[in-house]
């Protein structure tokens, strides 16, 4: 395993941009559920204003890794994180760091849609802003529209913004969750299979959104869709049973991967 | 599709092992169960209606204008046909019960939130122990507790002491109802809030509690209904009073009459007129609780 890791690291040193362009970086990061590791000694760099795709078979630790990047494991009983996760060079797991500040900067879209059931569509979108004290109606309106347009949902809900957020279709709820995450303007956006419940049109809109967002935001996306990974991402990381097997620029990963297992997975021969 | 159907029937019956009931038998079984359920429902409801009807029949005669406008006074009033009533009891009940609610709702919800949302907090075992103890404590002991805590130091029976005693009745019910109402809110909603960079308490206040609102209100109602009917905790706390207090502070710091306790003392009195007033007090108590349930239900449904 160590061999593979050093090869991967070696390769990426050749092709990677300068270290100053790293926005987030993990160093020997492991996540344990009880005694078993969900993610094992992963060192991975996520470059500024780039899209990094995490791929790998189900249960290989993609979600687990993603959640470690904004301290979502803090509240999971029995989960424990070791190693470091650096945001702009400082460890988000350092003793005095407030996870709330980390999560303001590192936003997240979950695998399943999670609208706040008692809030209207509008209130869902501006929840993050409202609850930190932004009350100016004009500002909120503008942010809500921008976020909903970004998430390809505006046209469908603009006439019923006051309707409950739980009362729309599953795919619409997912786009609402995306809009809500966008509204707080995170610096890093973690997306866990954001389009797995969406139709092709919305999927394309979300992918366009990501390309647009890339101008300001660093994105880490988990996806099972190889076409999606190759279409939108700049870097790809391949995980297998908790290990980072290979990390490379997406173009290289999908044409000439270093590892045999990566190739087998990408070409659909296992996983 | 046909192949699929054929397949499931075959493997389905094999897997179930017991033979599938014929449709006819299934129908009759269904009817039988429904019948049993319906009759047990009626069995439960009939005594309830008998009790309500009996209370109404016995007490309706005493429900006149004086009943709602006069204080009770001494028994001679009732004998000699002077105006007498329970206005001080009705007001006293409203005062003591609402005071108890004002204390018990925030404390009970707070305790429930603590138990449900911070299960690993180091104070929680103690909180749970307190809550369970309070929950299992006989009502009369809750009265004694309030007596020791409030009546003794103040040197007088008081509405406040009665409210504290009723708080002990309401607290564990509200805390438990809150805890279970919060427990059923999916964890993912909390995570969604946290991922927006909201502090934990914000997430609880703005997303979790509103989502659990119906459960919370139901818990508060049950607690209130329980407390509103208790006489035992009030006997040596608010104590009772035949008269309206001379100043408004008397409602808080002097002995106060309440419906359950007054109902009890009217019932054990030797006077026929007072017995009738006791039944009437029962009607008023019933109507108060029912009205409260209806308004709470309506407001929950509206919101
Ligand atoms: N809360 C948890 N408690 C215990 N084990 C967990 C927990 N969450 C995940 N795991 C385990 O950790 C491993 C990694 O899970 P993870 O959810 O990160 O996989 P994934 O790559 O996101 O899979 P998928 O593609 O199916 O979403 C799995 O073996 C899983 O069973
Ligand atoms: Mg996952």
pLDDT digits (tens), chain A, 271 positions: 344 444 444 444 445 555 569 999 999 999 999 999 999 999 999 999 999 999 999 999 999 999 999 999 998 989 999 999 999 999 999 999 999 999 999 999 998 999 998 899 999 999 999 877 888 999 999 999 999 999 999 999 999 999 999 899 988 999 999 999 999 999 999 999 999 988 998 899 899 999 999 999 999 999 999 999 999 999 999 999 999 999 999 999 999 999 999 999 998 876 5
CA-CA distance, A90 to A96, in Å (whole number)? Answer: 11
- CA dist., res. A248 & res. B13, Å (int): 53
**Residues lining ligand 1, judged by CB closer than 6 Å?**
A 33, 38, 56, 58-64, 76
* Nearest residue (CA) to ligand 1, atom 16: A61
Count chain A–chain B contacts defined by CB atoms under 8 A.
Answer: 70
- pLDDT over 50 at B6, yes or no: no
- Report the residue of A69, A100, A115, A135 to disrupt the B interface, i.e. the one with the largest count of B CBs within 10 Å: A100
Of the candidates B133, B180, B207, the one whose C-alpha atom is nearest the C-alpha of residue A119 is B207
pLDDT-derived band of residue B19, with 50, 70 and 90 as boundaries?
A: low
Mean pLDDT for the stretch of residues B34-48:
94
Take residue B88 and report the two structure tokens written for it: 């001080």
State the smallest CA–CA distance between residue B200 and chain A in angstroms: 9
Is it true that domain B68-302 has CATH number 1.10.3720.10? yes
> pLDDT at position B211, please?
92
Q: If you take atom 5 of ligand 1, which residue's CA is the nearest one?
A: A33
Condensed to tens digits (0 to 9), the pLDDT of residues B283-297 reads 999 999 889 888 888
> What is the CATH superfamily name and number for domain A2-266?
P-loop containing nucleotide triphosphate hydrolases (3.40.50.300)
CB spacing of B207 vs A127 below 8 angstroms = yes
Asked if B221 and B132 count as a contact pair (C-beta separation under 8 A), the reply is: no
3-class state of residue A30 by DSSP: strand
pLDDT tens across B157-169, in order?
999 999 999 999 9
Does residue A12 sit at the B interface (CB-CB below 8 Å)? Answer: no
CA-nearest residue to B119 within chain A is: A77
Per-domain residue ranges for chain A? 2-266
pLDDT given at position B7: 44
Q: Residue ranges of the domains in chain B?
A: 6-62, 68-302
Pairing assessment for the beta strands A90-91 and A243-249 based on DSSP bridges = unpaired
Question: Any CB–CB contact under 8 A between A79 and chain B?
Answer: no
Mean of pLDDT over chain B: 91
Atom 25 in ligand 1: residue holding the nearest Cα:
A58
For the residues B38-67, what does the mean pLDDT come to? 94
Question: Which of these ranges, B11-20, B145-154, B202-211, has the smallest mean pLDDT?
Answer: B11-20
Q: What number is the ipTM of this complex?
A: 0.88
Nearest residue to A253 via CA among A270, A271, A229: A229
Summarised one tens digit per residue, pLDDT across range B213-255 is 989 999 999 999 999 999 999 999 999 999 999 999 999 999 9
């Amino acid at each position: 395993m160590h061999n593979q890791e050093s090869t991967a690291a070696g390769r990426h040193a050749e092709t990677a941009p300068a270290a100053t362009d790293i926005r987030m970086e993990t160093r020997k990061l492991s996540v344990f559920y009880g005694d078993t590791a969900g993610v094992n000694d992963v060192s991975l760099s996520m470059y500024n204003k780039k899209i990094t795709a995490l791929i790998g078979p189900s249960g290989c630790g993609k979600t687990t890794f993603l959640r470690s990047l904004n301290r979502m494991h803090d509240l999971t009983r029995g989960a424990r994180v070791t190693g470091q996760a650096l945001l702009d060079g400082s460890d988000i797991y350092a003793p005095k760091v407030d996870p709330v500040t980390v999560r303001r900067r590192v936003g997240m879209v979950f695998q399943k849609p999670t609208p706040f059931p008692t809030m209207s569509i509008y209130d869902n979108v501006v929840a993050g802003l409202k609850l930190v004290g932004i009350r100016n109606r004009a500002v909120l309106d503008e942010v809500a529209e921008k976020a909903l347009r970004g998430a390809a949902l505006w046209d469908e809900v603009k006439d019923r913004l006051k309707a409950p957020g739980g009362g729309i279709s599953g795919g619409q709820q997912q786009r609402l969750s995306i809009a809500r995450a966008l509204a707080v303007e995170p610096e890093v956006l973690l997306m866990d299979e954001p389009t797995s419940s969406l139709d092709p049109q919305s999927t394309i809109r979300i992918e366009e959104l990501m390309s647009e967002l890339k101008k300001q935001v660093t994105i880490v996306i988990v996806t099972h869709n190889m076409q999606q990974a190759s279409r939108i991402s700049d870097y790809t990381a391949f995980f297998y049973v908790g290990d980072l097997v290979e990390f490379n620029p997406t173009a290289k990963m999908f044409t000439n991967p270093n590892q045999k297992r990566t190739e087998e997975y990408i070409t659909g021969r296992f996983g | 599709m046909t192949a699929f159907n054929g397949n499931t029937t075959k493997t389905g019956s094999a897997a179930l092992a017991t033979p599938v009931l014929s449709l006819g038998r299934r129908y009759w079984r269904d009817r039988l169960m429904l019948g049993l359920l319906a009759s047990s429902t009626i069995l439960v409801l009939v005594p309830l209606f008998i009790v309500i009807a009996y209370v109404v029949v016995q007490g309706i005669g005493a429900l006149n204008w004086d009943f709602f406008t006069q204080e009770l006074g001494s028994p001679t009033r009732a004998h000699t046909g002077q105006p007498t009533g329970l206005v001080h009891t009705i007001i006293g009940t409203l005062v003591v019960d609402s005071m108890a609610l004002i204390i018990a709702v925030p404390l009970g919800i707070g305790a429930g939130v603590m138990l449900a949302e911070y299960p690993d907090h180091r104070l929680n075992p103690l909180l749970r122990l307190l809550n369970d103890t309070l929950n299992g404590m006989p009502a009369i002991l809750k009265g004694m507790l309030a007596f020791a805590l409030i009546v003794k130091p103040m040197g007088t029976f008081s509405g406040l002491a009665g409210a504290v005693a009723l708080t002990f009745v309401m607290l564990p019910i509200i805390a438990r109802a809150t805890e279970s109402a919060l427990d059923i809110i999916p964890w993912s909603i909390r995570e969604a809030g946290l991922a927006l960079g909201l502090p934990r308490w914000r997430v609880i206040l703005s997303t979790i509690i509103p989502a659990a609102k119906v459960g919370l209100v139901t818990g508060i109602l049950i607690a209130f209904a329980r407390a509103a009917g208790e006489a035992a905790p009030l006997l040596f706390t608010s104590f009772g009073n035949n008269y309206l207090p001379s100043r408004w502070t008397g409602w808080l710091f002097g002995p106060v009459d309440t419906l359950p306790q007054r109902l009890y003392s009217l019932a054990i009195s030797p006077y026929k007129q007072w017995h009738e007033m006791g039944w009437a007090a029962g009607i008023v108590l019933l109507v108060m609780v029912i009205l409260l349930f209806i308004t709470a239900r309506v407001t929950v449904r509206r919101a």
